[in-house]
Structure 1
Amino acid sequence: MEPIKKGLDRVLQGASVVLFALLVVVVVWQVFTRQVLNSPSAWTEELARYTFVWVGLFATALVFSERGHIAVDFVVTKFSTKPRKVVAVVVQLAIIFFALAVLVYGGVRASNGAWNQSLSALPTQVGVMYLAMPITGVLITFYAIYHLQAVLRGAEEAIDTDQDPQMV
């Protein structure tokens, strides 16, 4: 599972960098055409919006890979090892449920519902743009399963103890 995770991490890092660079270029072009040329480009707003969503979702999946998501663990850090492990398992199961129910199932439904809707300024359909949701849901599910099995076999700490001491 580790080689798959590392490969997905590299793909997500690359995709996030490329999408963010694309977003910067598109927004700079949008501002340039509006402010300098006095003729705003019609497609830049739509492309910037969808690129922002895709980079946000892919970067979110990457954060789940690193277990860097927000966690309010003030009480849990006071527990002994076994209850910490139980909480970590419950958290990973909740993440899996959310990713499958909302991102995968909901994303597929949204994408299917909008598959035939054309974007006004781009030569594609809205449904294609919504595919970022189920893709991200599958990635987050994979990472949650990875961390769940790592916590269960003791390869990872139940709670990240490498935090800033003032934050704990």
Structure 2
Amino acid sequence: MKTVKKGLDSALSWFCVVLFAVLVVDVSWQVFSRQVLNSPSGWSEELAKYVFIWLGLFGSALVFGERGHIYVDFAVRKLPAKIQYVVGLLMQVAILAFASLVLVYGGWQVAQLSWDQKLAGLPIDVGPLYLALPISGVLIIFYTIYHLVAILLRVENAVEDAEPDVL
């Protein structure tokens, strides 16, 4: 599972780098065409919106893989180690439920509902663009299960940077 995670981390990192480069080039073209050519590009604004959304969703999945997401733990750190362990497990289960219900199930529903809708500025349909929701949800689920197993096996701490506890 560790090998799969490393490969996924690498692929997701490169995908986010490519998305960011596309976003930079697209916005640069948008500014150039508006300011220099005095002829704003209609498609570049539409593309920038969707690339930014994809970058945010896949970037957040990557951050979940690194356990770098925002984690307000000042209150949890004051609790005994066993309770920190339980709270850490509960947080992973909550993330798993959210990613499953909202991102995967809800994202799939949205993609299906909008599958044949046309975009005004780009020659593509909206539905395939919304597939970023369930795909990023599946990635977050994978990472959450990976970290949940690692916490259960005591390979990772339940609370970031906490001392490992022994039952």
- TM-score between both structures, scaled by the size of structure 1: 0.94
Matches within 5 A, 1:42-121: 42-121=42-121
Task: Quote how far apart the aligned CAs of 1:160 are.
Answer: 1.0
- 2:30 is matched with 30
- 2:16 is matched with 16
Structure 1 residue ranges (4+ consecutive) displaced by more than 4 angstroms after TM superposition:
none
Give percent identity, aligned residues only. 57
Distance in 2 separating the partners of 1:148 and 1:78: 22
Q: Deviations over 1:25-50 (max 9, x none)?
A: 00000010011001111210110000
Q: Deviations over 1:104-132 (max 9, x none)?
A: 00100000000000111212110011010
Distance in 1 separating the partners of 2:82 and 2:154: 11
- 1:166 is matched with none
Task: Quote how far apart the aligned CAs of 1:81 are.
Answer: 2.1
2:10 matched to 1:5? no
Letter in 1 for 2:137: G
Distance in 1 separating the partners of 2:100 and 2:157: 25
Q: Deviations over 1:86-113 (max 9, x none)?
A: 0111000000000010000010000000
Task: Quote how far apart the aligned CAs of 1:83 are.
Answer: 1.1
Distance in 1 separating the partners of 2:119 and 2:136: 22
Distance in 2 separating the partners of 1:161 and 1:79: 14
Letter in 2 for 1:125: D
- 1:165 is matched with none
Letter in 2 for 1:133: L
| RMSD, aligned α-carbons | 0.9
How many residue pairs get aligned? The number is: 162
- 1:155 is matched with 155
Distance in 2 separating the partners of 1:15 and 1:40: 28
Q: State the SS of the aligned residue for 2:42.
A: coil
- 1:146 is matched with 146
